Amino acid sequence: MDQTGVGDYIVEDMKQTGISNTEGIRFTLSLKQEMAVHLKQTMMENQLAIPYAHDTPEYRDFIAELNVERFQLTKTGKIQFSHPQGTHDDRFWALALAAYAARSQPTGRPEDFIFV
């Protein structure tokens, strides 16, 4: 779970209410880069399934968020992520976080694939 900013309180609340498997992650530039690269690799290896529901606004918004995420190389050699004004990237990072959390799972069997 994103523990950056206000997420810190949410992670603590979840742990205090007995959800012991909660793990908070702070979104740093290097972690975002690692998660985005892993998400791309997971998608390229067809280990991510997104059901096709093109006629719903939720699906269209979700796919739009995946397609508008931008990145640029900084002077220090890091990748900086952004999205155009008036758009969001919450679902993009939620998907990247889910794929990143599942990275330690073995691959090759249908039950090892990520289904959104």
Which residue is associated with the tokens 């791309």?
A: 40
- In 1-116, which residue ranges form alpha helices assigned H by DSSP? 7-16, 29-44, 57-68, 90-101
Q: What is the pLDDT of residue 9?
A: 86
Give the Cβ contact number of residue 77 at 10 Å: 6
Q: Domains plus CATH for the chain?
A: 26-115 (3.30.420.240)
- pTM across the whole model: 0.76
* 18 DSSP 8-state letter: T
| pLDDT over 90 (residue 74) | no
Distance between alpha carbon 55 and the CA centroid of its chain, in Å?
A: 23
Q: What is the mean pLDDT of residues 11-39?
A: 88
Q: How confident is the model at residue 35 (pLDDT cuts 50, 70, 90)?
A: very high
Question: In percent, how much of the chain has pLDDT > 70?
Answer: 90
Tokens of 36: 């985005």
